[in-house]
Amino acid sequence: MAGKHYKLRVAYAGFPRSLNGIHTFMAVMDERKAKGIKDEDGSEASPLPSDMDKDEYGAKVRAKLAGQKVIPPPSGYQLFTPVIDTFLKEHLFADIFARDILDYRSRELATIAALASMTGTGSQLRFHLGAAMNTGLTEAQMKGFVSVLKAKVGMKEADEAAKILNEVLRTRPK
């Protein structure tokens, strides 16, 4: 029964954070405009192909970020709540990752920054720290990014990210 209520949790936990982030960004842009700073609008993403198999595309992206050559069979949360697997593959790893505005490295750094600023996201942070390195970011770059987290997010959050990064580094194949 618990797995069947996932859709409600996404709508009422994930989207409000996204909307709050948009409002914060709008306030920053208003402050910059008031200071006479003119920011250029970014490019719009290209439309996705209408015949795109989002399930397959998303599964390939997730496997690539995880450093896997083949798509593993469903397990754990995917079996408990199959719809989360669909949402992750089709919405996150297809609809969002297929957009041509940011590359995978930039998306991973943005994800790490967001996760590091939230509590209770250690397992997701672990995945995305590894995923960032699977996109080509180096150990030195990741440690440098943790320093940025310390300066811009907070000491506690950066220390937790550093701890998880060290775990990721210890367990990565050499």
pTM metric for this prediction: 0.81
User: Cα separation of 139 and 96, whole Å?
Assistant: 26
Q: Taking the mean position of all CA atoms in its chain, how far away is CA 31?
A: 27
* Confidence at 1, pLDDT banded by 50, 70, 90: very low
Q: Where are the alpha helices (DSSP H) in the chain?
A: 6-9, 15-34, 54-65, 77-80, 82-87, 104-116, 122-134, 139-152, 155-171
Lowest mean pLDDT among 29-33, 85-89, 104-108, 149-153: 85-89
Going by C-alpha positions, the residue among 147, 71, 74 that lies closest to residue 112 is 147
> Can you read off the two tokens belonging to residue 100?
């041509």
Q: What is the pLDDT of residue 26?
A: 95
Q: What ranges do the domains of the chain cover?
A: 1-12+51-101, 103-174
Rounded CA-CA distance 123/150 in Å is: 20
What is the overall mean pLDDT for the chain? 89
* pLDDT value, residue 11: 54
Q: What is the dihedral of CA 20, 22, 27, 33, to 10 degrees?
A: 180
Q: 38-52: per-residue pLDDT in tens?
A: 999 888 999 999 999
pLDDT tens for each residue of 102-148: 999 999 999 999 999 988 999 999 999 999 999 999 999 999 999 99
CATH class of 103-174: mainly alpha
